[in-house]
Amino acid sequence: MSPGADMGYEETYRRSIEQPEAFWAEEAKAIHWHKPPQRILDYSNPPFRRWFVGGQTNLCYNAVDRHLPERANQLALVAISTETHVTREITYAELYREVNAFAAILQKLDVGRGDRVVIYMPNMAEAVFAMLACARIGAVHSVVFGGFAAHNLALRLDDATPKLLIAADAGMRGGKVLPYKTLVDQACAQSQAPPPKVLIVSRGLDPALPKVEGRDVDYATLREQVGDAEVPVAWLESNEPSYLLYTSGTTGKPKGVQRDVGGYAVALALSMRTVFDVAPGQAMFSTSDVGWAVGHSYNVYGPLIGGATSLLYEGLPFSPDAGIWWALCEKYGVRTMFSSPTAIRVLKKHDVRFIREHDLSKLQYLFLAGEPLDEPTAHWIHDALGKPIIDNYWQTETGWPAITLLPGLDMKPVKFGSPGFPNLGYRMKVIDESDGVEVAPGRKGVLVIEPPLPPGCMTTIWNDDARFVKSYFSHFKQLLYSSLDWAIRDEDGYTFILGRTDDVINVAGHRLGTREIEESVSGYGGVAEAAVIGVYDELKGQVPVVFATLRKNTEEPHERVAAADGMRRAVEHNLGAVARPARVYIVNALPKTRSGKLLRRSLQALAQGTDPGDLSTLDDPNALEEIKKALLRGPEVGG
């Protein structure tokens, strides 16, 4: 019985965790199998599990070929760049041709089944062609966020040992060209396992494009050579690797999160219906980058497996103006939009008329993920849009939402601050960190998942099963997947994420989550965004320190002091005197990664006068200078 057929969330969820094999056997019918699974679940070697054992399928076939009889002329992908001012509208028939051509190029470059291909590109159509082409022939792609520092790229090359690296000549951000090729050359020079070939997809952005003879090849030249070649699909066993996605730890070797084929396809097909409520022929706009987990699942594979139209956007959310995303929603009739709290906080600094002047009658939902959604931001965008704002929680490791509301199945009331309920197939608990016992409602604990992990989640860490077990399953006496996040579940079953278990400040024996303090600071009027860190204090061990941006920048000292004092009082009122920030700094920008995550550890290091660590993912170098200036200047309040 498929979700939605006379079943509400509770009954469907219960069935998914009590009868997982029956549940997932039914869901597996939503995708095409060249050979049906012989066994739904093999959990003979915990915590490793294999879904749809013996089944043969292919992600590219399910995302492209399967739709040709019914929707060949429907838009599959719309790639919009407000940087290059080019929009490409690509139908399923055109996508089929481009992906086959790209697959033929891969084969010309001696890439075959099981070979790794590193893709180093921004949000451009060819990045999607490359991913799908790899999937078509059974190669394992690993997309590295475009513009990542050479050292970081080299580490990923070392681990993946690719047969080929595909790179754009350059990316663009805010009108500034960011050459990629020099970074590629540096990474290949540093790497212990440089690829034998580098395929360059040039948009003519870097006229001085350096070329390494015998290694570098030009995509446009090869594209012309292969013409309208057709490449047969490689039918893969469900548990063969489909792709690697590296999580960049602040220290140590990056972890190659490994995904399978069949389980991933089934999970995405289910989520498109039950979570995102997008049917074939409808449009979805995810503002993520193809280099991130959301980009893989909901820019590329999810919408295409679901027969939808996917919008891929390269550019800033406020250029040419703060209405660009909403203009695209209006033009393409977007039903479901997926973005991040950081992006909405950026838009919150602009006039709400940029949203309201567009016809958003077809837009039904705005999903937000990537970091906890603070209540003030949730209220602002809800009031501006007049649409449901659905927070959802997941990780690169899970591949699809782990906690969410499911409007395509049974829409529950939104509680701002909570992503909702465990998604189908996820056996989740909030437990005491010391004894592993489930905590009572309203009590803080660690969020864990009872294995076996559902389809769609990572299968292991590439070439390192031991690290997979140690990183995720060795934190408690029981065999449990630790999210490494603090959470509270309320009386109604809603889960609230409080922040990382390592983002904890210990003030004189009181453990305080930075997220809790940030919520209170952000709730004070006039605050656009806040970051809270713990810094060493001789008396208390640690004290909270706040860095905040204001919705309206001001250089008036008395206004800044008044705002900072208000933030301190708000924290004290909400959380008590023990949480009162020792210092509050008002700055014009906070340091973030290009995916929008705050660099709290770098903030903490600067505040304590130590090395801020790897800053290769820093979006705006000026933000770091802002922090340094503020620390030299001194706090608005505190000492």
Residue 239: CB atoms within 10 Å = 20
- Residues in CB range of 464: below 8 A, 6 or more apart: 255, 256
How far is CA 372 from each of CA 165, 391, 487, 596, rounded to the nearest angstrom? 34, 8, 11, 12
Write down the mean pLDDT value for the chain. 93
10-14, 25-29, 237-241, 599-603: which has the minimum mean pLDDT? 599-603
Task: Taking residues 177-196, report their average pLDDT.
Answer: 95
Residues composing the chain? 639
pLDDT at 478 over 60: yes
Residues 77, 125: contact at Cβ < 8 Å? yes
Residue from 364, 418, 358, 369 nearest 387 by CA: 364
Residues 155, 188: contact at Cβ < 8 Å? no
* DSSP line for 133-174: HHHHHT-EEEE--TT--HHHHHHHHHHH--SEEEEESEEEET
Give the pLDDT confidence score for residue 248 in this predicted structure. Answer: 55
E strand or H helix that includes residue 122: none
Give the pLDDT confidence score for residue 578 in this predicted structure. Answer: 81
pLDDT at 596 over 90: no
How far is CA 342 from each of CA 339, 372, 503, rounded to the nearest angstrom? 9, 10, 18
Task: Taking residues 182-188, report their average pLDDT.
Answer: 95
Predicted confidence band of residue 250 (pLDDT cuts 50, 70, 90): very low
Residue 147, phi-psi category: left (phi > 0), alpha (psi -120 to 50), beta (remainder): left
The set of long-range contacts for 220-224, using a CB threshold of 8 Å and a minimum separation of 24, is: 222/105, 222/108, 223/101, 223/102, 223/105
Task: Taking residues 59-84, report their average pLDDT.
Answer: 98
Predicted confidence band of residue 159 (pLDDT cuts 50, 70, 90): very high
Give the pLDDT confidence score for residue 147 in this predicted structure. Answer: 67
How far is CA 558 from each of CA 197, 527, 550, 565, rounded to the nearest angstrom? 60, 16, 14, 10
Give the pLDDT confidence score for residue 568 in this predicted structure. Answer: 95
Report which DSSP code applies to 438.
Answer: B
Tokens of 10: 């509770």
Give the pLDDT confidence score for residue 249 in this predicted structure. Answer: 45
Share of the chain above pLDDT 70, in %: 97
Residue from 494, 335, 341 nearest 428 by CA: 494
| Structural class in CATH, domain 503-638 | alpha beta
Predicted confidence band of residue 491 (pLDDT cuts 50, 70, 90): very high
Residue 241, phi-psi category: left (phi > 0), alpha (psi -120 to 50), beta (remainder): beta
Tokens of 190: 């540093």
Predicted confidence band of residue 511 (pLDDT cuts 50, 70, 90): low
E strand or H helix that includes residue 460: strand 460-461
- pLDDT tens for residues 128-146? 999 999 999 999 999 998 8
Give the pLDDT confidence score for residue 152 in this predicted structure. Answer: 81
Architecture in CATH of 428-498 = Roll (2.30)
Tokens of 74: 């429907």
Task: Taking residues 613-639, report their average pLDDT.
Answer: 85
How far is CA 478 from each of CA 48, 448, 451, rounded to the nearest angstrom? 15, 11, 10
Torsion of CA 322, 323, 328, 331, to 10 degrees: -170
- pLDDT tens for residues 276-322? 999 999 999 999 999 999 999 999 999 999 999 999 999 999 999 99
Q: Give the chain's count of helices (H) and strands (E).
A: 21, 33
How far apart are the C-alpha atoms of 261 and 294, rounded to whole Å? 17
34-48, 282-296, 488-502, 616-630: which has the minimum mean pLDDT? 616-630
pLDDT at 119 over 50: yes
E strand or H helix that includes residue 402: none
pLDDT at 104 over 90: yes
103 three-class SS: helix
88-102, 372-386, 418-432, 501-515: which has the minimum mean pLDDT? 501-515
Torsion of CA 295, 301, 303, 307, to 10 degrees: 160
Task: Taking residues 406-435, report their average pLDDT.
Answer: 96
Label each residue of 52-97 as H, E or C: EECCEECHHHHHCHHHHHHHCCCEEEEEEECCCCEEEEEEHHHHHH
Q: Where in the chain is the domain with CATH 2.30.38.10?
A: 428-498
pLDDT at 434 over 90: no
- pLDDT tens for residues 337-363? 999 888 898 899 899 999 999 999 999
Q: Where in the chain is the domain with CATH 3.30.300.30?
A: 503-638
Tokens of 639: 């000492």
Q: Classify the C-alpha dihedral 29-459-617-206 as positive or negative.
A: negative
Give the pLDDT confidence score for residue 499 in this predicted structure. Answer: 75
- Residues in CB range of 380: below 8 A, 6 or more apart: 344, 348
Give the pLDDT confidence score for residue 579 in this predicted structure. Answer: 87
How far apart are the C-alpha atoms of 334 and 366, rounded to whole Å? 10
pTM, 2 dp: 0.86
How far is CA 79 from each of CA 119, 289, 290, 502, 530, rounded to the nearest angstrom? 17, 12, 12, 38, 33
Residue from 471, 467, 491, 494 nearest 481 by CA: 471
520 three-class SS: helix
Torsion of CA 574, 580, 586, 588, to 10 degrees: -60
